[in-house]
Amino acid sequence: MKMQRKLLMIPGPIEFEPEVMDAMSIPTPSHVEPDFIESFGRVLEMMKQVWMCPSGQPFVVAGTGTLAMDIAGSNLIEPGDHALVISTGYFGQRYSDLLKRYGANVTLLTAPVGDIVPMDEIEATLKKRKYKLMTFTHVDTSTSVLNDPKPIGDLGKKYDVLTVIDGVCSVAGEEIQQEAWGIDVVLTASQKAVGVPPGLALMVVSQKAMSVWKNRSTPVGNYYADWGNWLPIMEAYLQRKPSYFGTPAVNLILALEKSLQLILKEGVEQRIERHRKAGHAFREGLKSLGLKIIPVKNSVAANTLSAPYFPEGIRGAVIISGILDKGVVVAGGLLPEIKSTYFRVGHMGMVSKKEIVTTLKAIEASLIKQGLKIEKDACLKTAFDIF
């Protein structure tokens, strides 16, 4: 595929570090050769560090983020179980549909667009009946709304409900202390803040959730996803032993090893702080351009992506193509009810001042081209001040 490279600022896949791409492009080794076994073992150990879950069980399976959702759902739900889905957009709805496939009775709490479901509403719902599992999207990629996992984890502990975080758009970009916050499953995919091309479903599972799975009375309703097939494989690689169930995505796992090394070298806290700063600078820059974002307040605005509304009266497709003309790729809307009214910009992974400023400049140029009266470079000054 030969094309002129544009800056990829969609919410995944993202721009990847050259070292990660180099690690991926070596001639493919056997999945049972000693060097690869060592790499896979290290990947699983580093995941526990990045997820901040030293006693958790990590899984790496070839597939996308939806597979990660499927693995957690199919292993933890048995027909007739009650599940609570706390939805802040498109991906909450997806989790509700998915859990129903495995026979769950789903209660769906949906936040107004741009906001979260209040904690007292979640607690009131948990008081009504015994739920086996509750799930929420840490950052909903359709709305850029951020949930705070800690108080939801506290409710999970208080009401003895397993908590599952869809962290596809947050892990390694937003703060998650899985073990300290008592979250049972934190799942993600490789192509976002974790910084590896698409193709890996990743998760760390608490020992509590593993024992709930072990004590199931019915077989897992999904053969590929069944932890019964994958647990021995992960345990073997952790013990540096060869093993096989389904062929691992060898090159992607080598890329993941490099990316996790880079994440830990930077430091997880520093990395989260860098995302905070980038998110803040970008949101303020958008404000300087006169653009309003979907999240109703700063405390529920994600740092891994932003979702600004188009200015009224201007066709969105024209704005997006004007941004593209300036060499930056952004994404269209995703939430069906407001899809054509907004766009989305990812700012995660290796994102720095350079990418934030380049993207703001491209948006500014596109808006000016459409005749909007904007003070030139004001958004850049705003962003620079924050950096």
Tell me the pairing of strands 305-306 and 343-346.
antiparallel
* Binding of residue 199 to ligand PMP (CB under 6 A): no
Identify which range of 111-119, 136-144, 310-318, 337-345 contacts ligand PMP by CB under 6 A: 136-144
Contact indicator for 265, 195 with CB cutoff of 8 Å: no
Site string for ligand PMP, 7-26 (x = CB under 6 A): -----x--------------
Contact, 163 vs 152, CB < 8 A?
Answer: yes
Nearer CB in complex with ligand PMP: 138/274:
138
Residue at shortest CB range from ligand PMP: 65
The CB-of-143 to ligand PMP minimum distance in angstroms stands at 10
Which of these segments, 110-118, 126-134, 166-174, 316-324, binds ligand PMP (CB under 6 A)?
Answer: 166-174
* Pairwise CA distance, residues 209 & 248, whole Å: 24
Structure tokens at 32: 């049972």
- The answer to whether 74 contacts ligand PMP (rule: CB under 6 A) is no
Q: Minimum Å distance from CB 166 to ligand PMP?
A: 5
Interface residue with ligand PMP, options 70, 78, 166, 175 (CB under 6 A): 166
Stretch that binds ligand PMP, among 49-57, 137-145, 202-210, 374-382 (CB under 6 A): 137-145
Q: Checking DSSP bridges between strand 105-110 and strand 82-87, what pairing results, if any? A: parallel
Nearer to ligand PMP, 236 or 252 (CB): 252
What backbone torsions phi and psi does residue 134 show, to the nearest 5 degrees?
-130, 150
CB of 158 to ligand PMP, least distance (A): 25
163 binds ligand PMP (CB under 6 A): no
How many residues bind ligand PMP (CB under 6 A)? The answer is: 12
Nearer to ligand PMP, 224 or 384 (CB): 224
Judged by CB under 6 A, which of 13, 65, 114, 346 binds ligand PMP? 65
CB of 186 to ligand PMP, least distance (A): 12
Q: Is 156 in the site for ligand PMP (CB under 6 A)?
A: no
CA distance 18 to 49: 23
Question: Which of 6, 15, 66, 82 is the binder for ligand PMP (CB under 6 A)?
Answer: 66
Quick one: 142 or 366, whose CB is closer to ligand PMP? 142
**278-337 positions binding ligand PMP, by CB under 6 A:** none
Please, what's the b/e burial string for 343-355 (b: 16 or more CB within 10 A of its CB; e: otherwise)? bbbbbbbbbeeeb
- Angstrom distances, CA of residue 256 to CA of 106, 210, 314, 327: 34, 24, 41, 28
- How big is the chain, counted in residues? 387
Q: List the interface residues with ligand PMP, window 25-64 (CB under 6 A).
A: 64
d(CA 12, CA 331): 10
Q: Which of 20, 77, 161, 169 binds ligand PMP (CB under 6 A)?
A: 169
CB 279 within 8 A of CB 173: no
* Cβ-based nearer residue to ligand PMP, 11 or 308: 11
Q: 344 has which bridge partners?
A: 331
What interhelical angle do 227-238 and 65-76 show, nearest 10?
Answer: 110
Stretch that binds ligand PMP, among 106-114, 162-170, 212-220, 266-274 (CB under 6 A): 162-170
Beta-carbon neighbour count of residue 204 at 10 Å? 29
In eight-state DSSP terms, residue 189 is E
| 137 is a contact residue toward ligand PMP (CB under 6 A) | yes
User: Distance (Å, rounded) from C-alpha 181 to C-alpha 187?
Assistant: 15
139, β-bridge pairs: 146
81-110 residues near ligand PMP, rule: CB under 6 A = 91
Cβ(380)–Cβ(295) below 8 Å: no
Give the residues across from 87 on adjacent strands: 110
Interface region with ligand PMP, contact rule CB under 6 A, candidates 100-108, 161-169, 319-327, 346-354: 161-169
Q: Which residues bind ligand PMP (CB under 6 A)?
A: 12, 64-66, 91, 137, 140-141, 166, 168-169, 189
